[in-house]
Copies of this chain bind each other. A is one copy, B any other.
Amino acid sequence: MIFSRSSEYALRAFACLAEVEPGTYVMAKDIAEKAELPSHFLAKILQQLARKGFLKSNKGPSGGFTLTQPAAKLSLMDIVSAVDGTAELDRFPFKNGNGRSQAHNGWKTLRSSIVDYLESTSVADLASGGADRKVRTKKNGSKA
C-alpha cells in the first residue's frame, strides 16, 4: 500500500468529518463507529492531527473534533504526509549500480502519478457525495 493503516484511518475519519456541517464537533467514538475503526487508536491519531493544526478539538460533553479548513482545500497528501511523513514515498527501491535501467523511468512516472493522485484529490472528494451529487443536500440555513 501507499500509506499506512494510520493514514488510512485518518483519511476515513476526515471523510466523515467532511460530511457533517462545517464547524460541527464530532466525538472520536462516533467517528470510529461510523467508519468502523478502532476507536482508541483513532482517537490518538486525531489528537496528533489536532496538535498539527488539521483539526480543532473540544473537551468535555458536546466536545469532539472538527476540521480547521474546508475539506475541499485539504488534499490526501496533506494528511498522509502529516501521519506517515514523506520519506517512504521519496525512497527509491531499486538502487542499481549506474541508475539507468528501463525500470527507473517507469518507476519515476508511476511515483509521480501516485503523488499526483494524493495531491489532486481532496478530502471532500473522499466524502460520499463528491461524485454525482450536485445538489449538496440543501444544507443552507438550518442549524448553524
Could you tell me which A residues sit within 8 Å of B by CB distance?
A: 1-3, 8, 11-12, 15, 36, 76, 88-89, 91, 93-107, 109-110, 113-114, 117, 120-121, 124-132
Contacts and interface: CB of A to CB of B under 8 A. Distances in A.
A57 to B, nearest CB: 24
Given A96-B15, A113-B110, A103 B88 contact: no
Contacts of A121: 102-103, 106
Given A98-B128, A103-B125, 5 more contacts: A15-B94, A97-B128, A103-B126, A103-B130, A114-B114
Contact of A88 (B1, B98, B113, B120): B1
Contacts of A88: 1
